[in-house]
Amino acid sequence: MQLALIDWIIIVAYLLLATAIGFYYKNQASKSLSDFFLGGRKLPWYIAGVSMVATTFAADTPLWVTEKIAQHGISGNWLWWNMLIGGMLTTFFFAKLWRRAEIVTELEFIELRYSGKPAAFLRAFKSVYMGIFLNVVIIGWVNTALATILIAFFDISAEQTIYYIAGAMTIVVLYSSLSGLMGVVITDFVQFFIAMIGCIILAVVVLNTDKVGGISGLKEQLPAWRFDFFPNIGSGTVMEQIGTYSVSLGAFLTFSLVQWWASWYPGAEPGGGGYIAQRMMSAKDEKNAVLASLFFQIAHYCLRPWPWIIVGLCALVLYPNLAVEDSAQGFVLAMKDYLPAGLKGLLLVAFLSAYMSTISTQLNWGASYLTNDLYKRFIQKKNKGETEEEEQKDYVQKARIFTFLIVALSLFATTQMNSIDSAATFLIECGAGLGLVLILRWYWWRINAWSEITASIAPFIGYTLANYVFEWAYPNNFLFTVLFSTICWLIATFVTKPTNSETLDQFYRKVRPEGWWKPFHDADKSYKSQMLSVGVCWLSAIVMVYACLFLIGDLIFANYQKAAIETIIVLLSYLILRFQMKRTRIFDI
């Protein structure tokens, strides 16, 4: 397919803008590790929050949602909607703690919280595992999604896409390695609005085609279950019932009540973590860290998905003969077939911006682990007479080298995705059971490095037993892995020595956690528990966002009676949230 001149002008203008932002923030990023990886810890909540949303708005996400719509209808989105519960947990129970810790990376937390050689081993291992292996797999996924778009849009071969991807990554590595996090989040801010506007335009265009006929025509041509916000509880499982709307009660309860706290998943880590923690740590204070995370949850779950859902439903009408396994292409085909010149370029820029936002964050995040938690902690040999300024410049230089290393490895991973994808799926499924330790390490003093090491290893064993010895299907295999892992790390916790008292005392004084820290709370005369108020904030925020999510959907589909009820729920839950937030220490700054 040939693009019009106006399309190319839009694409080139966007790429020049992203590059210019990188050069603009180059000098600021070169000052220190904190400036390069945390933007100098001075981001306002709206910049940090939009950056979180933009990063999760990857090139593969609309395609994945389109596929879920084809398989299960709107209710198929519960596979990720359930993560809101854990996301709000991060907002109210962890955001202020991450900012208060004043660390450069998530992995630095390990030696802030734990002590001894086990803590050092865990930090070194995770810096390589997460900074390189897991990171390049994630980037490989996103590259593969971009390749799918390029193949469908330009009718090129899979082999040719690697050259286009390499060109896109070159631009990303240029501005992200020059500008550090500050350049990344500013481009994220621009990219988010481009991507959202582009997807909304696409949804409006395809919805109003003659073949679809607007919302009324869409509802007439598709079965009613496609529009259900909740799955029908039947006898099947969400993994087996491809092409229908039925899931088993056990499966629905598992991914709605267990999965959000039990499993580790990039971008939705229990207790925060990864680039979400990085954004919270880069906020200018605790209040902005909390508000950034809260905005992220609202925008991520309420605003982002509806344009994708509309396009996914329209694709079922526009391309009825598209096989379920190829249903993700419906989104791209709608762009290709129904957008006029100019809008095609805008939508390509929207996907390119979503792609570049995710890649730039992954590069900066991965390089932070390799620089701060591997090179600085275990490899660097300090030169005598070296000033602090010279030392910091050396760190920034190494960060840029590690960024280029990750790019090279990611391009190789992209060419091998057929084999890596199955391995990555296995690794993510083997995260079941780790989440609870990542939550409790903040709120229970007895958790130690061996708890987290065991919780990282045990799921692999549990997964192997459940799937290859007992041959169980979801949710039984998942629940067994969670139970097995939990028993293992609890045993490890109580048969090993706790973190030494000096480290625990320093951690408590710095972070001031609540929960099961009674020996330290007793010695802290200023301590006053806020757990109840924070818990009410958490629950009311969950209700508010889910109600808002369904409210927008019912307004789109003209279900005005339901929308009226949901409006009342949104307002009541908001008032409760606002009242309870004032009672907490979140804003006592």
- Rounded Cα–Cα distance for residues 543 and 265 (Å): 23
Of 9, 14, 59, 12, the closest CA to residue 161 belongs to 59
Are the CB atoms for 92 and 290 separated by under 8 Å? yes
Given this model, what pLDDT does residue 280 score? 94
**To which residue do tokens 């992220």 refer?**
296
Dihedrals phi, psi of 2, to nearest 5 degrees = -100, 135
Question: Is 558 within the bounds of a domain?
Answer: no
Asked whether residue 2 carries a pLDDT value surpassing 90, the answer given is no
CATH at residue 371: 1.20.1730.10
> Would 30 be classed as within a structural domain?
yes
pLDDT, residue 587, reads: 56
- Confidence class for position 46, pLDDT limits 50, 70, 90: very high
Taking the C-alpha atoms of residue 393 and residue 88, their distance in angstroms, rounded to an integer, is 37
Lowest mean pLDDT among 192-196, 299-303, 304-308, 562-566: 192-196
Q: Any bridge partners for residue 247, and if so which? A: 233
Alpha carbons 451 and 447: distance in angstroms, whole number: 6
Dihedral of CA atoms 459, 464, 470, 474 in degrees, nearest 10, equals: 60
- What average pLDDT does the segment 137-160 reach? 83
Q: What number of other Cβ atoms are within 10 A of residue 469's Cβ? A: 8
Q: Of 404, 373, 367, which is closest to residue 174 (Cα–Cα)?
A: 404
Asked if residue 533 is part of any domain, the answer here is no
pLDDT at 41: 92
Residues in the chain: 589
Residue 586 binned pLDDT confidence (cut-offs 50, 70, 90): low
Residue 589 has pLDDT above 50, yes or no: no
Q: For residue 291, what are the domain limits?
A: 5-379+389-416
Q: What CA–CA distance (Å, rounded) separates 362 from 169?
A: 12
Q: Show Cβ contacts of residue 360 under 8 Å, excluding neighbours closer than 6 positions.
A: 172, 175, 176, 184, 187, 188
CA distance 222 to 214: 12
pLDDT at 148: 81
Q: How many degrees, rounded to 5, is the angle at CA 295 between CA 291 and CA 296? A: 115
Residue 238's pLDDT band (cuts 50, 70, 90): very low
Residue 308: pLDDT above 70? yes
Residue type (1 letter), 241: Q
**For 66-70, 269-273, 418-422, 429-433, which range has the lowest pLDDT when averaged over its residues?**
418-422
Task: Confirm whether 23 is domain-assigned.
Answer: yes
Domain count, the chain: 1
Q: Where are the alpha helices (DSSP H) in 73-134?
A: 78-81, 84-89, 95-101, 108-113, 116-128
pLDDT in tens, 262-299: 887 776 788 888 889 999 999 999 999 999 999 999 99
Burial class (CB within 10 angstroms; exposed 0-12, middle 13-18, buried 19+) of 143:
buried
The residues near 46 (Cβ < 8 Å, ≥ 6 apart) are 292, 295
Instruction: Output the CA torsion 171→175→177→182 (10° steps).
Output: -150
Sign of CA dihedral 288, 289, 294, 300: positive
pLDDT of residue 118: 96
Tell me, yes or no, whether 63 lies in a domain. yes
- Output the pLDDT for position 234: 64
Cα–Cα nearest to 51, from 239, 233, 191, 163 = 191
User: Is the overall model pTM greater than 0.85, yes or no?
Assistant: yes
- Cβ neighbors of 528 (< 8 A, separation 6 or more) are none
261 assigned to some structural domain? yes
DSSP code of residue 264: -
pLDDT tens-digit readout, 498-555: 999 999 999 999 999 999 998 888 888 888 888 888 999 999 999 999 999 999 999 9
Tokens 């004043």 — which residue?
102
Residue located via tokens 């999510």: 549
Question: Is residue 91 scored above 90 in pLDDT?
Answer: yes
Average pLDDT over residues 113-133: 94
Query: What's the Cα-to-Cα distance from 212 to each of 256, 277, 509, rounded to whole Å?
Result: 33, 42, 61
Question: What pLDDT shows up at residue 98?
Answer: 96
Average pLDDT over the chain reads 88
Q: Is the pLDDT of residue 242 over 50?
A: no
Tokens of 333: 């085909």
**503 in any annotated domain:** no
Residue range 199-230, pLDDT digits in tens? 999 999 999 999 999 999 999 999 998 999 98
pLDDT at 251 over 80: no
pLDDT at 237 over 80: no
Residues 481, 484, 489, 491, Cα dihedral to 10°: 180
Q: Is residue 202 part of a domain?
A: yes
